Structure 1
């Protein structure tokens, strides 16, 4: 089953997909374009993987890491299907990242690899935009690269784990304005879903609605304001998002946001 959270007629609803329509929790059937899409779950702790596809690491001139390269994301980073993500004025490189998102279904601690799928509620799609201008280095992603408000569209549906026969063999694709720009398969992850759940649960407790963003394959490219970006994963769906400029958010005095490097340099000079 495919599940969602949507806003309709002034209320937030749990919903399911029924014959191409959205069935609200009060029984009403509405069209997909009649609702406002929210993240399909309220994210708790969100783990994001860096360089978890060897081809992506190679395109960045890095080797794949020897153990998972994990960082955390805050809940305000997420926006629903057909939402908007802001590209700040003056940035030189903001790219999409099509990622399989794994949603945890119950408390998990010291999980054995062979039992890991028992702790998965379902799967959804994330587009984890990154602004490379703000990156300190590829092995320590800084806060502004991955935690900007609305920088990570997610959804539209949470597909039940039981409906995905093999989450480690799913095609991923990204389209920018209808043109295919990224293509890969989850089988090419350096660390698979089982590995990640085992690894994380060794030293911390995973809870229901924690999310693991499993990384992106090669094929990244810059995006511009007004680009429509669609990330899709086989068997899970298509997630659409629009890149917008500062003006859409009412920012009139457009200035290039200072780089982390220059900020760090100023701190050094002051001390």
Structure 2
């Protein structure tokens, strides 16, 4: 019985040992002029990686048959990328490119750190490619994705929402029931939300999924708003939205009639 148990434990270890330390992570979002799609990522021992197989179709890569132990060759048209397992350097069209962590091979599957997208793939593509690690966005082609840094401030009974928009982007503000909708002339938004604390006027600030719209969720205490813009450095513009509370009723009860 002990021998059988030992064999069973060995089989379990062989089946799971190669994926030990691997867990799913939040996907990246690939934004193109045509659509948005997720790029799944995983974590190996604290490192965020993406499978090479997930990159092949969206970026036109071909995984060649020129396989050697510990080495993988990719092609895009006549440009060659060579990965070496457990090495932080990759060869891209004849250039050596340093990555944040080594490439990994597990059970025939290859993984690269996400910065492979911004450092290596850009050298073999004919169209713009940008990785924004903080927001998890991958921008491919002629897409417009402004960064919007939002700060919500409270002064007395008034509140102010400051949006630093880089680069300057046309936008429209509409009030729709219990929210303000700020629609940008863009393909997507890169939202940075700082120090958001709900209060009597605003419950939340968020980017709408799949659209270049920022939603400001309002509370019953909200009354009205006004907006101004100011130019900023680096081709940016600051949109300032002042939010006013609902007026407090000052109606007083009529005095009792004077007895005759």
With the shorter chain as reference, the TM-score category is under 0.3
What TM-score comes out, normalization by structure 2 length? 0.24
Larger radius of gyration: 2
* Higher-helix-fraction structure: 1
TM-score, scaled to structure 1: 0.24
